[in-house]
Structure 1
């Protein structure tokens, strides 16, 4: 059962703020789908013109054009807008440089990896390298003598710094090449200076600096070493997490500015990234997960109602429609700022900020939940606060193949049931979709950023649940069956609301099912033999396993869940056991109706059948005897051996899969001999 882990290609808080996967590919398609095609050529021409006012206007126009409009963004990309804006970063007019940087920042945030990769390939780091030392020197000067700062200091230093740092943050997640180049810039003193001066400067650049630090310290040793080596950096991060202003008051704080909560969340995440913290820092004696991450972040995920957020967003969307700027009527004389927004847009961004804060919180908690201590079944939950060993850390084995392990619970009935962690209840609320969570089939959401943020929260909450139940299952003690049933029903309710639509633009729906399958397996494992699914749920799991888009890992999750369900000892579930066993047998070689599910799922099916029928005294063992399962398992042995021999150890994950295959092969041979010896 694989835990959810942070991966460089998937960890960004908003991989694509305004998704465009529902749109056809190609420049011609972009021209057809964009309503602003006629505005593009004048913008490109003015951006490359001799008039500085027109160049500035063109940069501003790009920011306004792409707002929540992926087709126009794609059209601009096809016209080399990225290259044109990077050229403007060396413009002779300072205001043109500022607006070009703002437009590039907005492209990064809205467009995701493709645009960031294009920026890196077109050498955006060259001008950025010159900006960083200049900004650092100017910031130091203004902080030392704020009264001497010119009137436009905020624009020149703080807003420009915000844009530069945000682009660096986004580029850091684009590729290892970009990350290596940014590591060479030695940004830690520059970024930490904003956090250190957070009480004197606006929140925007401070939060951007914290975001960049969080990304750079995520499994990136050069940045981790830089933070660890300076005790003042650790002290600064610890000071952001102020116990006298607990994040439990986040509801009031978020109403003022969600970035204040985001800053504390990011500080918690950075400290977790760089832990363990070496002496002589006082923080070296602190258990970061136990003493900072869990108590600081749990209130954040309890502080928001997604239903209310969705309702508010829909109301604001209606108001926004009446106040959208008309790019055709913008005058050169009265050019709006690139960050000009109506009040509904400001409120929508504030709402999105809250959702992104919750998403980031969940991502950090997911890592912490992967290292929850194994519970001692003999100690009540409120007393089990020390002395346990951590399970394998998520970052520590990030390169290992995601091979799932069986979780035996022999004798579990002799131990007391374990109460679920307090995180579970708020997580169950966060996995339930709202009316804005997923776009209509092959269409765009009425407000893509909100939809993207909501669906990302649902996914992150499911990933956190996955790791919680993995930790519980590894602990060995079953959870309270009533609580387990509550989680089981809540996950199925969420999946029912998600639906099974597939196609362009529906990738998040598929991702929900994939992650939820892991949660279902975890719940079924800790409640092994106690859950009785309805026929529709069994059918859904089998259909998910059989779907053409299912990969080996998803199939293994479905098979593992079915195994746990098949072990229900209730007399009324004997037929359900037979249905599951017949389905699993169809995956084995030698079956007349064999399904080509792949080697790893086939091995999981064989292992599951062995576990299900390991106890010949179980009430459902009658199915094994009357259905001739022994003969069918025996007939599969040669095919299993052949499949195991064919596993290529040189392929990624091949060595571990071969070891797993050999184990299943040997167990299958021994199991057939054992059952034959019983003579039943």
Structure 2
């Protein structure tokens, strides 16, 4: 029980590509109202979207982006005037420049507005337009890649056309990525044209040197999102010519050398001109090549299973150990406290908000030097988060056992009115043995992950919260919402990777691995870190259910998974404080998922039965767990039964007689047998076969445990 291994992210769980959830912005402004100056410009801007003059239409598309950027209240005003439908209509405009700006406006709206706004785009018919544009982009990319012409030999008109098509390719690719992550319906729409999408994305990656960083990164983001637990698209990608060789080559490419080469070319192109302010201060670096490489590495691990036929041409184990793991490892030592301090300094230096006015030079991606630096810091945090997602998969060493076929027995063949004692008499004489240890299989060895790379310590450091990790619980938004959104995601991913690593260690030890690997886990340090996170995330109980605080609860639940892992691997090294034990008890009602509640219960059981536990500690936990039994059902019922049996399985423990015997635990368990059986039989074996099987096993162990403990009295 409690083994909740984090796998590839399902679309509903991903925090990207929503840059900043609406609620993080405080409704747009602290009072939830749009900027009056922006509101005045709304109608004139919308009117120009239908202007006969293409320059007006182009300007209007760009103006929309500036008016709604990171301002949910103003964005909703525009939505109420059907801005999404108007912009989608502009995707079929006769002028390329208008199409580019309209696609850019939709891209930025979707990134800021998130899943709900992307769903609106889908419902208003964006897919047919994107399909047409993808065909147009693919043809132009073919021409660019086939032409043996240097960019500096092109005419001004040809250069402008190429800029338009590259900008359009980036915008459309990002919209595909957003649609893939929005919901099952939008993902299905992308999958319906999976072959064409895969071909275009691979084509972009193959021609990355000619097409530029922006569109290459967008293609990598789309591929990574589309290959996560999405077999239809994965199959299409694997059947795309040159897909795997292109991805492997990009994963192996030295991003640092390529970035240096690009900087040299840019400097040469500018000649003696003074560099832009943002280019002079490379405190973080552009980071797009690095992020692209990490995304491609993640895509390869998404689509290539070790030992599969596809793996014959890739060698994913060797690629992971020689290329992917070193790449990920190089990103794990970022000092988040320093990042938060720097973000605070940059935010203080931001220029006052400049409300756009009419002007032919308005651009929808204009950023000040300070904004560029903030964006680069945000990209760096995102890169680390994606690297942690990849590491989570590397650390996921458990292979699920195949489910046995279950007989469709008739639950009604036994009378519901059978009493406790009769049911106990019908039970087996001894609790069943634990099932076989799960198969452990990792592409990297545990001594490498635990010892050479010191992952437990480094992941714990990345999981530690900062003052900017969650949105404030009051009315004011975060100091810098994009950083807050990125940090909370990073903490979650670090905890998920640590959880998987601890699970793999626990399973390896159960399977007979060298016990010395447990010594490589800094149990006390992880325990302290985890409970610092649980305390900080859960200090305001009302915040756990507040809109905009969803990541607070997710991080807390992931931290509980790590607490469970440490308690299973190194319980003998733990000396939990009474306040920590009470924290586990208090947090249970606030948890959203049964899996998280089960982790908390299993952790308490491990603490109550750890070597050297005092009688008083055992009594406090044991009595509390037993008190849950009358109201527990389904997953929690199974967890409670397993916890009680695990704690008191050994009648020779010092705490058994003063707690289990003196406290009348056996009588309480015996009197619950009929009720437990009735609750187990309510679990539909067709809808929840795994839960039903575990519940039946727990019930059988309960009756056997009662019989066994009674036999000890004789």
Aligning the two structures, in what range does the TM-score lie when normalised by the shorter sequence?
0.7 to 0.9
Paired residues, number:
628
Displacement after TM superposition at 1:31 (Å) = 4.8
1:365: which partner in 2? 391
State which of 282, 294, 298 in structure 1 corresponds to 2:325: 294
1:491 aligned to 503, 506, 530, which one? 530
Q: Which runs of 5+ in 2 are unaligned?
A: 264-281, 404-432, 438-445
Q: 1:176 aligns with which of 171, 175, 184?
A: 184
Secondary structure at 2:450 match in 1: coil
CA shift at 1:432, angstroms? 1.0
CA distance in 2, matches of 1:450, 1:154: 33
Which residue of structure 2 lines up, in the alignment, with residue 618 of structure 1? 653
Displacement, 1:665?
A: 1.0
| Offset, 1:628 | 1.6
Which residue, out of 303, 312, 317, partners 1:274? Answer: 303
- CA, structure 1 residues 148+155, in 2 after alignment: closer, same or farther (shift >3 Å)? closer
Show CA shifts across 1:494-545 (max 9, x none).
Answer: 3333343312222211111111111111111112354221111111111111
Give the CA RMSD over aligned residues. 3.0
- 1:387 corresponds to: none
The alpha-carbon distance between structure 1 residues 391 and 445, as it changes in their structure 2 partners (threshold 3 A), is: same
Residue 537, structure 1, aligned to residue 576, structure 2: no
Corresponding residue for residue 638 of structure 1: 674
Q: Which has the higher contact order (CA 8 A, sep 6+)?
A: 2
- CA–CA distance in 2 between the matches of 1:194 and 1:648? 49
Distance 1:34 1:641 in 2: 63
Q: Which moved more, 1:420-429 or 1:573-582?
A: 420-429
Return 5+ residue gaps in structure 1 as ranges: 373-389, 398-404, 410-416, 590-595
Q: Is the 8 A contact 2:221 2:295 kept in 1?
A: yes
Post-superposition CA distance 1:560-610 (Å, at most 9, x none): 110001012325x32111011011111113xxxxxx343321221111111
Residue 671 of structure 1 is matched in structure 2 by: 705
- Answering whether residue 207 of structure 2 is matched by residue 164 of structure 1, we say no
What's the counterpart of residue 665 of structure 2? 629
What residue in structure 1 maps to residue 277 of structure 2?
none
Partner Cα distance (1:224, 1:497) in 2: 40
Alignment of 1:247-286 (within 5 A): 255-276=284-305, 278=309, 282-284=313-315, 286=317
Q: Which residue of 1 aligns with 2:471?
A: 439
* Equivalent position to 1:558, from 600, 607, 614: 600
| Offset at residue 32 of structure 1 (A) | 6.3
Question: Residues 209-224 of structure 1 correspond to what in structure 2 (within 5 A)?
Answer: 209-224=219-234
CA contact (8 A) 1:462 1:516 kept: yes
- Answer whether contact 1:407 1:473 (CA < 8 A) is retained: no
2:106 alignment counterpart: 104
Mapping of residues 164-243 of structure 1, within 5 Å: 164-185=172-193, 186-230=196-240, 232-242=242-252
Question: CA offsets, 1:46-105, max 9 Å, x none?
Answer: 223334333222211111122222222222222221111111112233322211111101
Distance (Å, rounded) in 1 between the aligned partners of 2:286 and 2:392: 25
Q: Does 1:510 align with 2:553?
A: yes
Distance 2:99 2:600 in 1: 53
Alignment of 1:350-429 (within 5 A): 350-370=376-396, 372=397, 391-392=399-400, 420=450, 422-429=454-461
Distance 2:521 2:325 in 1: 25
TM-score, normalization: structure 2?
0.82
DSSP 3-state at the match of 1:339: coil
Q: Distance in 2 between matches of 1:86 and 1:606?
A: 56
Moved more, 188-197 or 453-462: 188-197
Partner SS, residue 314 of structure 2: helix
Equivalent residues of 1:63, 1:338 under 8 A apart: yes
Name the CA shift for 1:407/1:424 in 2 (closer, same or farther; >3 Å). farther
State the distance in 1 between where 2:241 and 2:34 align.
Answer: 56
TM-score (norm 1): 0.86
CA distance in 2: counterparts of 1:123 and 1:578, whole angstroms: 62
Match of 2:493 in 1: 460
Residues 597 and 462 of structure 1: is their aligned pair in 2 closer, same or farther, counting only changes over 3 Å?
same
Contact 1:355–1:454 (CA under 8 A) maintained in structure 2:
yes
Question: Equivalent residue of 1:315, what SS?
Answer: helix
Distance 1:514-1:286 versus aligned 2 partners, 3 A rule: closer
Aligned in 2, Cα 1:227/1:80: closer, same or farther, shift over 3 Å? same
Q: Is the 8 A contact 1:142 1:148 kept in 2?
A: no
Is contact 1:500–1:509 with CA below 8 Å preserved after alignment? no
Structure 1 residue 207 displacement after superposition: 0.7
Q: In the aligned structure 2, how far is the partner of 1:407 from the partner of 1:563?
A: 19
Matches of 2:101 and 2:87, distance apart in 1: 9
Is 2:686 the counterpart of 1:650?
Answer: yes
In 1, distance between residues paired with 2:400 and 2:705? Answer: 30
